[in-house]
Every structure is written in structure tokens, then in C-alpha cells.
A and B are shown apart, each in its own frame.
Chain A
Amino acid sequence: MNAVLRRLFALLLCCAAGTPHARGLLFDEEMRGHGYWDGELRTLHFVLDVRIPDIDRWRASPAHPAQVSGSLRLDAAAPQTLAGTLEILAPAPNQDGRVLVYRLTAANWRFLGAKLVRNDGGFDLIDDVTTLHGVLLPRTAAWPSVGSLVDDGQWSSEVQFEWWRPSIVLAFLDSFATIDTPWYEVPWVKYVFIDTTFGAVAGEFLFDLL
């Protein structure tokens, strides 16, 4: 019933607007940590701009793919521009949990990382959704499998969204904005995003308790 009402609501809004819109969403994410590159552990600083051009297509796809652009700074070197994709809470390999998969490419390297959201060791939801394990690879290297990171532990980079720093959290929350969305659909787009992401997380952590 809830789904029917939501679709009806959306239909009414679209009709009222008269013109179809893609109705997208964007937000920023900043993460810091360490990664192994060129024979040494380096400090990593990601600044990412995540863009969902069409919230409905995003929601309909099981992998929930988004576009990513931004930069990565290794140690004290100048930040390098990067681009790629982010799968937001896609089903994890072997259907065990959910993953946020980052596939990013820059001029000289590529990065595969995954945040694994899995009800595995006490209530560690915050750690799960803020800790990114990955590998830095030469640009020409083949992508490793996500399973090699989340199941086999073959990661060599660990970065975190620093949820314990208020400035980071506030900047993250403040960065949410819609794209090509009429004003009267802004709440709906945000609702779809929250409903999809929280629903996936709740599916992992809450349903096991019920």
C-alpha cells in the first residue's frame, strides 16, 4: 500500500509540473586513511563528489550506481583528479550483506574499494558504512574482484569517513543537493534516497533481530 501511495504521489507531482525531470541528487564525501602504493604505506585523502543523475533509475538498478568525480592526495603530493563510479549498497558477493563499491581512475592509477555492511560482529553499523577497504593499482591493471576485498581481506588501503569529527559530518550533510529537480519534488528525491539506503541497511541489521 505504501508503495502505491508513493507512486501516486509522484504521478500527481509530475502531472502538476507538466515537464518530466531526471530528478537527481548529489553529495560530497571526504575520507582519510592509509594505502599501500609504490612499496610504501601512504596517507590518503579522498575528496569525492557523488552524483546520481536520475534517482529512479538509480533506485531501480540493484547495484544503485552513481557517478563520482573528485581528487585523491597521496602523502604531501598535489591532489590528482579522479573519476569513476560508486555502487551504493549493492548486494555483496555471495549475497552476504551490502557493499558500497568505489571504482576510481586517475592519470596514473586506479582504486577499487568497498565498504562492507554486514551484520557480523556486534553493532558496528557506523564502522561498516564509514570504513573503506581497497587497493591502489597501476592504471592498466585489471580490476580485482570485490570479493577479494570483502571476503578474502586482500585490501591494502583503509580510509575512513571521519564520523567523529563534527565538521566532517556537518559538511557531508550540508552537501546534499538535488539535480534538475523541481522544488516541489526535492523532498521526494531525498526521501527516495534515504528510503533506499536506510532500507538496505535496515535489511541487514534489523530484520535479523525481528
Chain B
Amino acid sequence: MDFDPDRRNFLAAACAVAAGLCLPRGAQAAAPPRTPLSRPLEQLRSQYSTLVIGSGYGGSVMAARLAGGGPLALFERGREWLPQDFPDTGGAVVRELRSDAAPLGLFDYRSGSDLDALVGNGLGGTSLINANVVIAPDRDVFGAWPAAIRDAYQSGAMDVHEQRVRAMLAVETAGASLRKQQMHASTTARRRRAGASVDFRRLDLAVNLSRYAGTANAEGVVQTSCRLCGDCVSGCRTGAKNTLDVNYLRAAARGGAEIYTRIEVGFVERAGGLWRVHYVARPAGAPPRRGSVLAARVVVAAGALGSSQILLRSAAMGLVLPAALGTRVSANGDFLGLGYNSAVQTDTVGFGEGSPRFDQRQVGPTITGAAQYAAAHPAQRFLIEEGAWPRALADALRVLMPATASAPDVPAGQRELRDIAGLRANGALNHSMVYLGIGHDSAGGRIALDATGQARIRWPGLPAEPFVARMREEMRRHAAEFGASLVESPRAHPVFGAALTTVHPLGGCPMGADAGSGVVDADGRVFDPRGGVHAGLYVTDGAVIPASLGVNPLLTIAALAERMAARMTA
């Protein structure tokens, strides 16, 4: 493996300086104050009963449910975010792109030869920058899964775990008065009348829309209600998103879990009957330092890319792992599109901490509804969800987008000119629809380490998978209903690499019946190809999902973690 320690040292030293320069602007928002969860690194012990690596939906659930059963620590590679620290300008977003020089950056965008992936980096994982859609998969999509999971879904046994997650995440549904939702419902109805097998549905969200208005939530965190500003995916500066640091991670800390941020795990190795976990810590105001801790039980929950990366590095350091490691990688059938410059004002451009401009109404949470396409065969089903642009990206997009499309008539040209002039909010971008397609792919991708030891996805032939053409055509039709044209991600253009982008990377440590077909079993235990499992080593996050789900995966990841935790503690 090309993972040069000298290079790592150099990069880590550079990161310490760069990270300090890249910290976001100071507090400006009126979000209620929060008590930090993370502890100083000086409190880190040398040994734990349980070590959880990662604080996304898998790791947070495991930490909350296993806390109290002996010393437990949770490591998060990013930093802890307070609401007012999230970026709200284009420059700040660029500075928060995670890189070797900025390892604490909020946005971990991994470009690959065929598929890019965007995930979050910080305490709470991707919950910090996702749209918080809580949706259950169809019960017949688990054909490639171990029988225990398939049976659990089909028998209704998983319903209990899903309900538990919904309760913890305080799920609500956005109202029907948002323009982008009305637009999407309308184009969906037109598609249905034209013969498509599709229905519109409003989606459950882990967003505090109305439950708490400056009052304490179930874990004692004071939350303001959502301002409908549309900035969910650049981080909620009002603290209205029910990110994992206001629910599961609070429960974990209350149960005694020690939470440490700025610790990136490199690999794990056997140390007698324990596991030694090697890490690089990046404390604030100090140079990075390497270290290791011992744990009887290690739960790897660093996401599809992160967990696969840790196990691939561990394998390179001598740990014997199944051949399926790095396989069954899915983009969850993600396909991004923009219905640009329709005749209808959609209000899809976030307005941040200010008020909506006079010619714009509230945007709403980033995603609130979906066109749900039915089919007898699960692989042919898909969703097209409506989205929004965060304010931080709006100014750049207003100027850049007119160059990508030619205005079909005078009003369309006027709208583009309004965007370029930047004087009003009723330009072409606010007459557009952001589309996130989610469906089913072949899970034919593969995660491998690049020369710097970073996980990258390789998936030749991905753009030719059937879901791509299916979604592209339906997005084009939705857009055309009110005169918009479909614009795809620049990365999808051959000039820029013809790569797709996923915000839901899955797999890499797939569940399987045995070491021949998977990396972990139905309980998240890592197979030992020599027989049985590696006692005390688990993977519990999106990495274990062996096939696309066809829906936003957070509920499934968290519910599976609830199930695994219940079985561990039974």
C-alpha cells in the first residue's frame, strides 16, 4: 500500500496550520447556546471496553445504546460544530472542503474516476450537511441481504427499530405551502396523467419545524424552530436541524460515553485479546500527534468510505479480512439534476440568516417531497426529490448558470438578466428546481486506496447503468412541464470526466452470509476468512449495506445500528 508515514507526517503538520486558517467565521447567529459534547484530548484513556469510530448515524446510535456498559469512547475525525459556525458564504464553503491541507473541513468531497461522493466531516457526521430525510425502504429490496435482515424487514421486526429512530430524531413533515413542493407535486401530477406510474409524497424530516420553539428538546438541547431558509445542506445556523449532536450523541454522553473529536483513525490491529486502534489527533492549537488506544470491542462506523478505508488500511497492515472488502459499493442510484429557468417561481434559493427578499417567499427545508415512481420490479423504482440551493452557493450560481443554457423566450432571458444583475430574487435560479434522484444501481462499484491512502470509488460503466437514463428522462420531462431545461452536474460532462455524484455512498464492507460473500454478518461482526469472526470487531454504518436502498438511507443505517446494539446488549 502506498501510505507513506513521512508523507503523512508532512501533511499532518501542514494540516495543523491550514486548519487554523480555515476555521469559519465567528459567532453571528442567534442560535441558542449549546454545551459542547467533546472532551479535551488530555482526558483520553489508554484502554476502553468499547471504542466507536465515527459519529454518523451508525456510530451515534451505537454509542448511545452501548454507553453505560463499561468505559466507552467515540472518535470523530472532524471537529464539533456549533450552529453559528457553519459556513454561509461561497468562500467559507470552499474553505471547508476537506483536503490534506484542511483535514477538518466540513465537506468531504471525494472525487473518483467514475463516481464522486460527498459526505460530512464533523461530530454528527453527514447529519450536519444532509437534508435529513427519514424514509423507510420498500420491504422487498433486501434480496441481496443476509436472510436474518431480510426476514426482520419482511416480518415487521425492524419496524420497532425504525420507530425508535424516528422518535429519537423527532421527525416532522413540512407543510404544503412551499412553492418548490407545489411545483414538484404539480409536475408529478402531470406526469401521472401522461401515463407514468408516479405519485407525489411529502417526506418525513429530522428537522425541528414546530416541536420546540426556543425550548429544550428531549435531550435538553434548546432548539429554535426552522426558519425555512433552505440552508440545511451547508449546516443549519439556527440549530433547527435534528442533527445527531442534539439527540443520539447527547444520549451517549449522558450515558457516560467519552466523545473526542479531531481524531482520525488510521487502522486497527490485533493486540492479544484486544484491539489496538491507531490514530492521528489534531488538537486545536497544537501540532498533530499520533497515538493508539486499546479496546475490547471496536465498532467501525466511519461511513462507507471511512470504514472501508480503515479496514483496507488494516488489511494492508496485516489484518486478515474477507476478499469482499471494498466491494458491493453503491451510489444508492443517486442522480442529480437541475430543472433550470422554468416559467414558475419556485423559491429554491436559500436566504440564510436574513429575511426572504421581498420578491421571494420562504424556501423550506432542503427537501420536503418526492415523486415516487412505482414498478413491479424493485430495481426499476425510484424517487425524484425536490431540493434547494443553500445561500452560500447562490451568488455564484446566479452568475454561472446563464452560461449553461440558452433562454427559450423573452421572459426566460429576463430572468437570467435579473440573476446576473443580482438586484432581485425572482431570477432564473429561483425559477428552477433542484432534483435529487434516488433509485437502484448494481452496487458494482469498488473502493480502493489511492496513493495517499484515501479511499476512492472506481466504477467503470456506471453512467451506462439503466437507472441513469431512466431518471434523466423523467427529470427532463418534469422540467419541461413548465418550460425549464434539464442541466446536469458539470462532472457528468465528458470534458469534466463524465462522472456521477452520490451523496449516499453505500457498501464497501457489505453484509453477507459468510466470508465468501460479505465482510460482516447480519450483526455487524467482521468475518475472519480463516473461520468465524474477528471477535470484538464490528462495522455498523452505510458501509455494511450491500445494495442500493432506493431511498435516503439514514433511517435504514440507524435502524440497523439499533438492531445490532440490541443484539450486542441482549
Q: Residues of A at under 8 Å CB distance from B?
A: 33-34, 36, 39-41, 120-122, 124, 127, 151-154, 156, 158, 160, 164
Contacts and interface: CB of A to CB of B under 8 A. Distances in A.
B185 interface: yes
Contacts of A121: 359, 423-424
Contact of A153 (B186, B361, B411, B414): B361
B189 interface: yes
B185 A154 contact: no
A11 B530 CA distance: 111
Contacts, number: 43
A120 B343 contact: no
Nearest to A120: B358
B189 A40 contact: yes
Query: What 5 pairs between A and B have smallest CB-CB spacing?
Result: A41-B186, A164-B410, A121-B423, A153-B361, A121-B424
Nearest to B409: A164
B358 A151 contact: yes
A202 to B, nearest CB: 21
Contacts of B186: 36, 40-41
Contacts of A122: 421, 423-424
Interface of B: 179, 182-183, 185-186, 189, 343-345, 356, 358-361, 409-411, 414, 421, 423-424, 482
Given A41-B183, A153-B358, A158-B344, 16 more contacts: A33-B343, A34-B343, A34-B344, A39-B189, A40-B182, A41-B186, A120-B424, A121-B359, A122-B421, A122-B423, A124-B424, A151-B358, A153-B356, A153-B359, A153-B361, A164-B410
B482 A41 contact: yes
Nearest to B417: A122
Contacts of A41: 182-183, 186, 344, 482
A34 B344 CA distance: 7
22 contacts: A34-B344, A36-B186, A39-B185, A40-B185, A40-B186, A41-B182, A41-B183, A121-B423, A121-B424, A122-B423, A122-B424, A124-B424, A152-B361, A153-B356, A153-B359, A153-B360, A153-B361, A156-B182, A158-B344, A160-B411, A164-B409, A164-B410
A121 B419 CA distance: 12
B210 to A, nearest CB: 19
**Chain A binding site: helix, strand, loop or mixed by DSSP?**
loop
A160 B483 CA distance: 15
A39 B188 CA distance: 11
Q: Which of A40, A152, A160 has most B Cβ within 10 Å?
A: A40
Given A34-B344, A36-B182, A151-B358, A164 B424 contact: no
B411 A164 contact: yes
Contacts of B183: 41
A164 B344 CA distance: 18
Nearest to A164: B410
Nearest to A32: B343
Given A122-B421, A153-B361, A158 B189 contact: no
Contacts of A40: 182, 185-186, 189
Contacts of A164: 409-411
Contacts of A156: 179, 182
A122 B417 CA distance: 11
A151 B51 CA distance: 55
Nearest to B187: A41
Given A40-B186, A127-B414, A158 B358 contact: no
Most B C-beta atoms less than 10 A away, residue of A39, A40, A41, A127: A41
A158 B415 CA distance: 14
A80 to B, nearest CB: 20
A163 B319 CA distance: 73
Nearest to B345: A158
Q: Which of A124, A153, A164 has the most CB of B within 10 A?
A: A153
Contacts of A158: 344-345
Contacts of B179: 156
Contact of B482 (A34, A36, A39, A151): A34
B190 to A, nearest CB: 8
A131 to B, nearest CB: 9
B478 to A, nearest CB: 12
Given A41-B183, A41-B482, A154 B361 contact: yes
A128 to B, nearest CB: 11
Looking at A121, A122, A127, the one whose CB has the most chain B CB atoms below 10 A away is: A121
A173 B530 CA distance: 88
Contacts of A39: 185, 189
Nearest to A155: B361
Nearest to A35: B344
